[in-house]
């Protein structure tokens, strides 16, 4: 399985402890796919011109994720503030006018030629890449993390071009999750999943609704657990495993991430 992630890179700032960790949905999924044994993993993003951006790149290199086609701009790295409460993460706003807020990637012909070499391209609602989805869908399978975005206009704009869609739905009852998954599938997405925290996950492939429970974990920090679940599922499914085995593997990988500080470790003094 070969995956390329396009989109956000940030430093999650743990204010109470004075440290930050590399992160962002696209970065977390890329790194975790590589940890899962993916044959080849790449990342394209917009990096700032500060020490934090340099550190994220160093961590990606250490984890075996290439980022040669990424851009560098004159702006600081996004720095969401994170507070831990009973092992769970609570976010606060960081500084504005960061590279994540100011810039979006315009994919070039050279980017598209590179992407063609991958099986799956993963991006998200945090990556400002919605207008590139039609082109991406022509050259590879597209995975998209909606987080908590479910407004109809946004679904109509994105879902026809996706092979995989992931939603966060801890606030939704099971029947609403099923309704959402079936609607997204009808709009053109192949496989739709809703992760629900301690309630596990629900997935739909157009034929059957799958229910996946959580694995027991020694919870240190839930940061990145959802991204790890996505990476686990994509890695296993793209390697030819069925839905049930892929979901079980995804739950296992998410549980392991709960025992790691930050999205995938690498603490740095703030």
pLDDT at 203: 98
At 117-140, the pLDDT tens digits run 999 999 999 999 999 999 999 999
User: Which CATH superfamily does the domain covering 2-269 fall into?
Assistant: Ribokinase (3.40.1190.20)
Q: How far is CA 135 from CA 103, 138, 142, 164, 187, in A?
A: 20, 5, 10, 16, 18
Within a 10 A sphere around the Cβ of 170, how many other Cβ atoms?
A: 12
DSSP for 199-264, please give it.
Answer: G-EEEE-SS-EEEEPPPP---S--TTHHHHHHHHHHHHHHTT--HHHHHHHHHHHHHHHTTSSTTT
CB 41 within 8 A of CB 30: yes
pLDDT at 90: 77
Token pair for 113: 């030629």
Token pair for 242: 């069925």
pLDDT at 87: 58
pLDDT at 175: 97
Give residue for tokens 């939603």. Answer: 167
Strand partners, 23: 10
Gap between the Cα atoms of 44 and 115, Å rounded: 10
pLDDT at 172: 95
Q: Which residues contact 63 (CB under 8 A, 6 or more apart)?
A: 31, 34, 35, 264
What's the chain's Rg over C-alpha atoms? 17
Strand partners, 209: 204
Strand partners, 160: none
Q: For the chain, which ranges sit under pLDDT 50?
A: none
Q: Which residues contact 262 (CB under 8 A, 6 or more apart)?
A: 12, 14, 21, 22, 23, 221, 223, 224
Residue 109: helix, strand or coil by DSSP? helix
Q: How many residues does the chain have?
A: 270
131, burial (CB in 10 Å: exposed 0-12, middle 13-18, buried 19+): exposed
Strand partners, 85: 88
Gap between the Cα atoms of 145 and 27, Å rounded: 13
């Amino acid at each position: 399985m070969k995956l390329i992630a396009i989109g956000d890179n940030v430093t999650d700032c743990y204010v109470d402890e004075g440290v930050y960790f590399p992160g962002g949905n696209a970065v977390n999924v890329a790194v975790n796919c590589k940890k899962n044994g993916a044959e080849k993993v790449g990342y394209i993003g917009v990096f700032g011109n500060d020490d934090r951006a340099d550190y994220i790149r160093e961590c990606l290199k250490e984890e075996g994720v290439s980022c040669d086609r990424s851009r560098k701009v004159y702006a600081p790295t996004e720095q969401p503030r994170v507070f831990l409460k009973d092992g769970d993460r609570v976010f606060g706003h960081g500084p504005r006018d960061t590279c994540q807020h100011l810039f979006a990637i315009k994919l070039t012909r050279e980017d598209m030629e590179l992407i063609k070499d991958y099986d799956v391209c993963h991006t998200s609602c945090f990556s400002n890449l919605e207008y590139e989805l039609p082109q991406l869908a022509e050259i590879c399978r597209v995975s998209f993390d909606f987080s908590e975005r479910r407004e109809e206009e946004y679904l109509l704009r994105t879902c026809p071009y996706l092979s995989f869609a992931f939603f966060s739905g801890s606030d939704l009852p099971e029947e609403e999750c099923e309704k959402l998954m079936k609607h997204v599938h009808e709009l053109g997405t192949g496989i739709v999943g809703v992760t629900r925290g301690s309630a596990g996950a629900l997935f739909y492939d157009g034929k059957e609704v799958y229910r996946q429970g959580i694995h027991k974990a020694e919870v240190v920090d839930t940061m990145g657990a959802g991204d790890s679940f996505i990476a686990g599922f994509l890695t296993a499914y793209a390697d030819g495993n069925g839905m049930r085995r892929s979901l079980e593997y995804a739950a296992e990988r998410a549980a392991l991430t709960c025992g790691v500080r930050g999205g995938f470790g690498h603490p740095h003094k703030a």
